[in-house]
């Protein structure tokens, strides 16, 4: 890859589980010349990857985002296209050390981006079709759609009682493993349309 020395290389390293280590990725990215490396331990399916979002938000024109492998960056074709397109829209470049053809500073890399866009559209259509088919089957079988509340009616009553007794929102949230916002909605009755699950 022929990069001008003035371009700053920004690394991104990720592992999926707490038990895995980032050391090899960090070593490889550092040896390649990355002056800053964003790192995190998060599943590829986790859309809220804080460090990746921070990298994209801080990305400047002329910088190059570098990963050791494509699967460190994205979990699907659609996800990869979305991230690389965001990088390109900032007039920055993308490069994967294990897949040199991803160099978006070259004509081959730009062609790759265009192909990814087409594949992402196909993937999105397939997901939409499978979702619609699954929903239709569920309705035909009499299955109620929508996510069930995690809190039973008995737990809901207990949460309201604890709040009336002066418990802090954060303490109640920790006890039932829910967010403070959920506790607040239960206490105010704003969740009443969701909270009628089986006891």
The burial class, CB within 10 Å (0-12 / 13-18 / 19+), for 158 is: middle
16 has catalytic annotation:
yes
Which residues make Cβ contacts (< 8 Å) with residue 80, sequence separation at least 6?
A: 70, 73, 74, 116, 120
Cα angle value 76/67/49 (rounded, 5°)? 60
The Cα–Cα gap between 135 and 81 comes to 27
CA angle 141, 145, 151 (to 5 degrees): 125
The DSSP code for 10 is E
- Tokens 């079709």 correspond to 129
Query: Among residues 16, 76, 105, 184, which one is catalytic?
Result: 16
Active site residues: 16
């Amino acid at each position: 890859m022929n990069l001008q020395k003035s371009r700053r290389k920004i690394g991104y390293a990720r592992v999926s589980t707490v038990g895995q280590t980032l050391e090899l990725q960090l070593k490889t990215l550092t040896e390649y010349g990355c002056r800053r490396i964003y790192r995190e331990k998060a599943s590829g399916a986790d859309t809220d990857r804080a460090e990746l979002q921070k990298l994209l938000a801080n990305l400047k024109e002329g910088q190059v985002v570098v990963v050791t492998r494509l699967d460190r960056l994205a979990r699907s074709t659609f996800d990869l296209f979305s991230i690389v397109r965001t990088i390109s829209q900032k007039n920055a470049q993308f490069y994967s050390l294990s897949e040199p053809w991803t160099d978006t500073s070259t004509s081959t890399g730009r062609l790759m981006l265009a192909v990814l866009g087409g594949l992402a559209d196909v993937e999105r259509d397939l997901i939409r079709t499978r979702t619609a088919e699954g929903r239709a089957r569920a309705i035909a079988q009499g299955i109620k759609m929508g996510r069930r509340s995690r809190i039973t009616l008995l737990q809901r009553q207990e949460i309201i009682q604890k709040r009336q007794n002066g418990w802090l929102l954060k303490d109640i949230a920790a006890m039932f493993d829910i967010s403070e916002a959920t506790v607040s909605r239960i206490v105010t009755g704003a969740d009443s349309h969701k909270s009628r699950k089986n006891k």
